[in-house]
Amino acid sequence: MHPTTWEKVDRYIEERLIPYDPVLEKALAANQQASLPPYDVTPGQGKLLHLFARMMGARRILEIGTLGGYSTIWLARALPQDGVLITLELEELHARVARANIASAQLEDKVDVRIGSALDQLAMLEAEGVEPFDLIFIDADKPNNPGYLQWALKLSRPGTVIIGDNVIREGEVTNKLTQDARVQGVQRFFELMSEESRIEATAIQTVGSKGYDGFSLGIVTG
C-alpha cells in the first residue's frame, strides 16, 4: 500500500474524530517557525496518548522528551485538577518554545518543564523523592532508551504504564547488523523489556503521515 494512502487515512480519521483545535495548531506552527525538528506525534497519536491517560485516571505523568510541547499538551489535558506532568528536554530552545505553547494552552500550572540531560534530570527526580508516576512517555534520543526504561521502572509503581515511541524504525529494529545507534538503542530497549520481570509489554507497528514506525506499551507489575 502506498504511503499516500496512509496520509489520506490519517486525514480521514482526524477530520471525523479529532476536531480542529486552534491551540494545538498554534503550537505546531510555533514549532515550525522556531525550526524545531518535525518529530511531533500526529494528532491521532496525540489523542491516543490523551485517551490512555484518561482511561487509567493518571494523576502524575512523566514525559521524557518535550520538543515543542505538542504531546505535552495532549497529555496534560487528560490530567485532573490536581494533576501534574513533568517533562524533560535537553535543548533550551525547544524548552522555551514548549513553555510558550503550554502557556498558550493555559496548562502552565500543571506542567513542569525541566531542561538538561534527561538521565541527569531523572536522577534528580529520584533524589527529590518524587511520588511514583502513573504514566511515563519515552520519546527522546533513542540511544539512551535503555537507560530511560531503567529510570522509568525506578520512578514507577505497580500499575504504571510506560509507553515508548518510535520503536520500529521502519522495520530496522529487526536488523541484527545495524550500525545505527538509534536502532541499537531501541533493540536494547526491547531486550530489557523482555528480560525485566517487573514489566509486561507489547509493541504495535503503525503507519501514517509520519511513515512506518510503532510504539511499545508496558505495564509495571511489581
pLDDT in tens, 88-145: 999 999 999 999 999 999 999 999 999 999 999 999 999 999 999 999 999 999 999 9
Residue 8 has pLDDT above 70, yes or no: yes
Cβ count within 10 A of residue 130? 14
pTM of structure: 0.97
> Which residues are paired to 199 by β-bridges?
220
Mean residue pLDDT across the chain: 97
Written as one letter, the residue type at 151 is: W
Strand-by-strand arrangement of the 211-220 sheet: 111-115, 84-89, 60-64, 135-138, 161-165, 211-220, 199-208
| Helices 92-104, 22-33: inter-axial angle, 10-degree rounding | 160
Q: Are strands 199-208 and 161-165 parallel, antiparallel or unpaired?
A: unpaired
Across 175-197, average pLDDT: 98
Asked whether the predicted pLDDT for residue 22 surpasses 70, the reply is yes
CA distances from 47 to 14, 103, 166, 175, 199 (A): 10, 20, 16, 31, 24
Which whole number is the average pLDDT over 23-46? Answer: 97
